[in-house]
Amino acid sequence: MSGKVDQELKLRAGKVIPGGMYGHQSVALLPPQAPQFFVRAKGAYLWDADGQRYTDFMCGYGPNLFGYCHPDIDAAYARQMAEIDVATGPTPRIVELAEAFVETVTHADWAIFCKNGTDTTSMALLTARAYRDRKKVLLASGAYHGAAPWCTPVPAGTVADDRAHFIYYQYNDVQSLENAVAEAGDDLAAIFASPFKHDVLVDQQLPNPAYARRARELCDEKDALLLVDDVRAGFRIERDCSWNHLGVQPDLSGWGKAIANGHPISCLLGNERAKQAASRIYVTGSFWFAGAAMAASLETLRLIRTTDYLERTVAMGNRLREGLSSIAATRDLHLSQTGPVQMPLIMIVNDEGNCDFAKSSTFAGGMIAGGVYFHPFHNMFIGAAMTDADIDHALEVADKVAKTFRERTPA
């Protein structure tokens, strides 16, 4: 609940930060109960600046996979930081981490490490165009691939040229994809795909296997590269690239968010086919070679391989989905729950099934006031540090909110 200290901080922020805050962590579009600032994070919990605790169903918008301030992962970071972090060259950790990714992710033969999710998709764009010196890149309408001039979802400050040679198709629609490929003709560089449709404000869609397979076939036929943008979903669907269970291996995959449990690192993975092109592009960053986040990522990959974190997040996701379904039925709430259970998008919808922004905000605001951080229109995340008790607590709060919600809302 945004309290007095939070309000004071927001006033100060408004003076020295454009718009008071920027990007995906601005609360401008969130319910008024959502605090802007947090002062403590541990495991599955966050504390806001006024001292209220939340069970955090956003997991930092993805990075928190094993729990905030994970002792083993943070210790790996601190140990490396005390020896060498950023320097005039990389540390051996970069080799070890590339090897670990190659061993973990089926399609991957190499890795390039960077800092932002946007860095990975920008590198994929360069690599794909360098591969056969072609220009056309196919993107699903509405998909989020980052916030650089070529991909930011808000047009302010961009020019049409930033998106020259992009062709848009409808996610999961084979015909639409084929039409886009035909439009690209001999100039097809790549097809970009999210592992599932996880756009904001509209129902999530799991990938249609026929669509995923056709994307692979078309890239093979046209000698173009297939990218799966796993920045948000990576290691939350499988211990591999998220299309592995469909039997579809991309040429490139983008990773970030959870790969070091919140420490700043992202990466582009690729196969042998794409390696030469990737070696020709020039990409770099001041902190891309820093060792500490790589050490943390090595420890995170170890936990990914050796624990049942994935099965537990799926089980807890099912528990949440079933519990909310039951509450919705009892309380006559038009609740939409879509996407993988461990990355649920939960909205109140109108009779047409579209997000009712006001009602979704009221619902999420009630949850937040009750100490459960829910998002009204962005997919959420179940973290491995959560317990069944956390899910049950969220369901208790949801039931209370649903009850008052129904009382308040005209039938």
Decide: 273 and 279 in contact? Cβ < 8 Å: no
Write out the binding residues for a copy of itself, residues 136-155 only, by CB under 8 A.
147-150, 152-154
Residues contacting residue 218 through CB under 8 Å, at least 6 positions apart: 177, 178, 181, 191, 224
For every residue of 68-93, DSSP letters joined together read BT-HHHHHHHHHHHHH-SS-SS--TH
**Interaction between residue 236 and a copy of itself (CB under 8 A):** no
**Interaction between residue 376 and a copy of itself (CB under 8 A):** no
**Interaction between residue 66 and a copy of itself (CB under 8 A):** no
**Interaction between residue 1 and a copy of itself (CB under 8 A):** no
Decide: 86 and 289 in contact? Cβ < 8 Å: yes
Nearest-approach distance from CB 377 to a copy of itself, in angstroms? 15
- Containing 5, the helix (H) or strand (E) segment is helix 4-16
Closest CA to 373 of 384, 358, 386: 386
Closest to a copy of itself by CB, 92 or 353 = 92
**Interaction between residue 349 and a copy of itself (CB under 8 A):** no
Q: Rounded distance, CA 105 to CA 117, Å?
A: 18
**Interaction between residue 374 and a copy of itself (CB under 8 A):** no
Q: Rounded distance, CA 207 to CA 180, Å?
A: 18
Q: Which stretch binds a copy of itself (CB under 8 A): 196-204, 264-272, 304-312, 338-346?
A: 264-272
Task: Name the pairing type of β-strands 166-169 and 136-140.
Answer: parallel
Q: Rounded distance, CA 13 to CA 162, Å?
A: 31
Q: Which stretch binds a copy of itself (CB under 8 A): 55-63, 172-180, 304-312, 347-355?
A: 55-63
- Dihedral sign from CA coordinates of 211, 213, 218, 219: positive
Closest to a copy of itself by CB, 126 or 177 = 126
Q: Rounded distance, CA 217 to CA 29, Å?
A: 40
Amino acid at 169: Y
Report the residue from 89, 351, 410, 411 that binds a copy of itself according to the rule CB under 8 A: 89
**Interaction between residue 125 and a copy of itself (CB under 8 A):** yes
Nearest-approach distance from CB 213 to a copy of itself, in angstroms? 27
Q: Which stretch binds a copy of itself (CB under 8 A): 162-170, 239-247, 317-325, 384-392?
A: 162-170
Residues binding a copy of itself: number (CB under 8 A)? 113
Closest to a copy of itself by CB, 38 or 363 = 38
Write out the binding residues for a copy of itself, residues 275-334 only, by CB under 8 A.
275-290, 293
Q: Which stretch binds a copy of itself (CB under 8 A): 161-169, 196-204, 348-356, 357-365?
A: 161-169
**Interaction between residue 9 and a copy of itself (CB under 8 A):** yes
Write out the binding residues for a copy of itself, residues 164-193 only, by CB under 8 A.
164-165
First and final CA of the chain: distance in angstroms?
A: 28
Nearest-approach distance from CB 156 to a copy of itself, in angstroms? 4
